[in-house]
Amino acid sequence: MKRILLSAAGFDPSSGAGVLQDLKVFERFGFYGAALITAVTTQNTRSVKNVYVLSGRLLKEQYEVLADDLAFSGIKVGMAGSLENLRALRKILSGHKDIPRVVDPIFRSSAGAWLLEKEAVPHFLKEIREKATVLTPNLEEAGLLAGRKVRNISEMKDAAQAIFDLCRIPCLVKGGHLEKEAVNLLYDGRRIYLFGKTKITKDVHGTGCFLSACLLGYLALGESLAKACELATEFTHRAIHGAFRIGRGRYVFGDTILCP
């Protein structure tokens, strides 16, 4: 029987991020993808126009019906949308301590639109404390979670350690938006790992979502956390090279990229 990965995230109609992209990535890794919708956006490759957050009650019902029928090999949490949904996701994650759980904190779009209620941000780490295998914030998200600016590798290290101390979850800070280099930094509670790649000057939509979905794929295949982060960084870097335009805005990932 084919193994199943579960994504809980927003619905991006351009398919550049959110559950639609997660399901495509899961399929590339040989898994069947199932999804919980937390929110629906009206957006295209250029911008997000509006965000409509679904209720925690509906999120809970989606999960209960799926879990009554399916067994999951891993869970990825992306855009929660609201504190109510975040609390529902905490309960979902709590029930699956024996499988990989990747939490990608989606706070704002690249254009600046808030994708999580602002009042939920200070509660984020408390709600997911000890409920995940790894947390994957980008530079801005790491800064909001750690309460400090994150602009370079030294500050990434400090933020990752601060985040771990607050939630007891290993933290992979995604550094694709560093000015001169692209370096992801993992702090697993003991060691710092750096995964660097040549910076590609191509504006691709959904890179953070793509990397965290790949990370879950590698973890579900049995890789260690550090190795899974290394492989996900490499795969994402190659995928960015192959990204293309489908509209008049940002690049998107192609469907022809094969998982290593």
- Supply the pTM of this predicted model: 0.95
Supply 2's token pair. Answer: 């084919």
Of 3-17, 51-65, 116-130, 200-214, give the lowest mean pLDDT range: 200-214
In the chain, % helix, strand, coil (3-state, to 5) comes to: 40, 25, 40
Torsion angle of the four alpha carbons 236, 77, 108, 147, in this order, in degrees rounded to the nearest 10: -100
169-179: average pLDDT: 92
Residue ranges covered by each domain of the chain: 4-241
Q: How far apart are the first and last CA of the chain?
A: 22
Which CATH class, in words, describes the domain spanning 4-241? alpha beta
Q: Are 144 and 176 in contact (CB under 8 A)?
A: no
61 vs 113: CA distance, rounded Å: 28
pLDDT per residue over 37-95, tens digit each?
999 999 888 888 899 999 999 999 999 999 999 999 999 999 999 999 999 999 999 99
101-112: average pLDDT: 89
User: Measuring CA to CA, which residue among 54, 43, 58 is closest to residue 80?
Assistant: 54
